[in-house]
């Protein structure tokens, strides 16, 4: 006779989907943090490489290494690696340095370069790959408990410039397809940042070569203009990539997670009606409440991710809709006032909207305000967004001093404004409210 379905069996799919939704939300924040962090160090290739391996290692909990192809397209060398465990990092660095630099002799390590897609090695394939490092290095890597390798090509503008290598040790399972897709997304964004950092460095070198005479001053001005155009193009690409990622996650959550959980809720209702006793029905009812609460949180997440209305109704109206959702029953009271003659470009809209979101969310979480106002107006060939509340305020210097790594908050707003070529200020004192002001050029 089949085993009766237990309460835990029914709850498990709900919990699993809830965990997957939370993981998607975290990965969206991780991608956003990576893009903002790489943009902040775009003028320094070494800085970009260091941030890539450190952030990827922190996101996935593995040893992360970057190897780049030389200009000849044949030799490849290790340029950056990170692991919180210094011993493991030293072993893996030495092992990678022992590999043949000629990629024609480094199979399967060079497969992602040739095929331009992620390659996962484990079992006998992993042992063969370790064998290329020599017996001593291979044994030391095995002693670390490395049980799988994920190589992701660094792809940019249709070609591969190197690989992002992830080494997973004992204590964690093998990479899933979702892990591989996420790692490849990280690799693609890193490759774009590395290529742009190289471009900026090359432009700087050209400027240094030409600044010694009058004619070269003219060339310098042209090169600086090109560098600024590249920076603006990168900013637009980063903002577009972030918004596209948010849309993709929103669609996945709506079409998969919410629909499945709603179906589970209906089945639980039917099961509760046919429960053999009151106690069993109460247990099912509690699970229904959990499902309903989770659906509500997912719908709230969808609203925060959504930015389509920017194109349809404009920046001010979209901010007003977000405030209405965030402050139900007009508590605190809020106003949105715009003096914009025309709507800004889409990437400028997105930057200002995300800053407004973060600022209003901070009001909701911390301010205990009675009134909050958002204002938009044009100034100095740009747009000023200001958010003002009459809440409890805070000591800005103290908050900045005690901020922890990974906490976006004020830092996230500062980075968005900086990437867009603008500025952001925060004026707040205890019991005197808070004013956030930012300016973004159009």
Q: How far is CA 262 from the centre of its chain?
A: 28
Tokens of 40: 């902040």
| CATH code, residues 309-441 | 3.30.565.10
Give the per-residue pLDDT at 255: 61
Summarised one tens digit per residue, pLDDT across range 81-130 is: 999 889 999 999 998 888 888 877 777 878 888 888 899 998 888 888 88
Give the closest residue to 161 by CA, choosing from 242, 219, 75: 75
Q: Give the chain's length.
A: 442
Q: What is the rounded CA–CA span in Å between residue 277 and residue 291?
A: 21
**Residues of the chain below pLDDT 70:** 1-43, 210-212, 214, 216-217, 227-256, 258, 295-309, 400-408
CA–CA dist 165, 184 (Å, integer): 10
Q: Which two tokens mark 223?
A: 């090169």
List beta partners, residue 122: 148
How does strand 382-389 pair with strand 371-379?
A: antiparallel
CA distance 326 to 322: 6
Q: How far is CA 338 from CA 251, 318, 361, 386, 431, in A?
A: 30, 12, 20, 11, 27
Which tokens belong to 249? 């996650």
pTM of the model as a whole: 0.43
Q: What is the DSSP string of 328-349?
A: GGGSSEEEEEE--SS---HHHH
- List beta partners, residue 185: none
- The burial of 135, by beta-carbon neighbours within 10 Å (0-12 exposed, 13-18 middle, 19 or more buried), is given as exposed
What residue has token string 């918004």?
Answer: 243
**Helix, coil or strand: residue 120:** strand
Q: What pLDDT, on a 0 to 100 scale, did the predictor assign at position 231?
A: 67
Q: What is the dihedral of CA 426, 429, 435, 439, to 10 degrees?
A: -20
The pLDDT score that the predictor gives to residue 89 is: 92
**CATH code, 41-210:** 3.30.450.40
Q: Tell me what pLDDT residue 372 has.
A: 94
> Rounded to the nearest 5 degrees, what angle is found at the Cα of 193, between the Cα atoms of 107 and 150?
30
Q: What are 315-361's pLDDT values in tens digits?
A: 899 888 888 888 888 888 999 999 999 988 888 888 898 899 889 98
């Amino acid at each position: 006779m089949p085993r009766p379905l237990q309460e835990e069996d029914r709850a498990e799919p709900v919990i699993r989907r809830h965990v997957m939704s939370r993981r998607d939300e975290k990965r969206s924040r991780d991608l956003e943090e990576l893009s903002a962090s790489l943009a902040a160090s775009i003028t320094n290739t070494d800085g970009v490489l260091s941030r890539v391996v450190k952030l990827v290692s922190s996101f996935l909990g593995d040893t992360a290494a970057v190897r780049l192809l030389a200009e000849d397209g044949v030799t490849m060398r290790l340029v950056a690696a990170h692991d919180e465990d210094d011993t493991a990092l030293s072993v893996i660095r030495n092992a990678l340095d022992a590999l043949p630099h000629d990629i024609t002799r480094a199979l399967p390590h060079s497969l992602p370069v040739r095929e331009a897609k992620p390659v996962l090695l484990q079992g006998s394939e992993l042992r063969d790959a370790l064998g290329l490092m020599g017996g001593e290095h291979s044994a030391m890597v095995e002693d670390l408990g490395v049980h799988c390798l994920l190589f992701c090509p660094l792809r940019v503008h249709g070609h591969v410039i190197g690989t992002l290598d992830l080494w997973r040790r004992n204590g964690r399972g093998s990479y899933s397809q979702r892990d591989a897709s996420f790692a490849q997304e990280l690799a693609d964004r890193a490759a774009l940042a590395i290529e742009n950092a190289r471009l900026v460095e090359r432009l700087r070198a050209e400027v240094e070569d030409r600044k010694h005479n009058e004619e070269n001053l003219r060339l310098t001005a042209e090169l600086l203009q090109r560098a600024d155009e590249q920076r603006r193009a990168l900013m637009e690409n980063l903002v577009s990539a972030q918004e596209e990622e948010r849309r993709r996650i929103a669609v996945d959550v709506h079409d998969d997670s919410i629909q499945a959980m709603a179906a589970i809720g209906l089945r639980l209702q039917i099961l509760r009606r046919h429960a053999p006793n009151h106690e069993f029905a109460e247990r099912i009812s509690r699970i229904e409440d959990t499902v309903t609460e989770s659906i509500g949180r997912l719908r709230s997440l969808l609203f925060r991710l959504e930015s389509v209305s920017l194109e349809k109704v404009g920046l001010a109206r979209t901010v007003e809709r977000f405030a209405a959702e965030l402050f139900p029953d007009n508590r605190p009271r809020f106003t949105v006032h715009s003096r914009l003659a025309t709507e800004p470009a889409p990437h400028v809209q997105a930057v200002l909207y995300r800053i407004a979101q973060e600022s209003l969310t901070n009001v909701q979480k911390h301010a205990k305000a009675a009134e909050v106002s958002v204002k938009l107006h044009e100034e100095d060939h740009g747009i000023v967004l200001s958010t003002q509340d009459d809440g409890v305020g805070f000591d800005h210097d103290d908050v900045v001093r005690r901020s922890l790594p990974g906490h976006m908050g004020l830092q996230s707003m500062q980075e968005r404004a900086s990437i867009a070529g603008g500025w952001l200020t925060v004026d707040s004192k205890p019991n005197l409210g808070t004013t956030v002001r930012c300016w973004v050029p159009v």
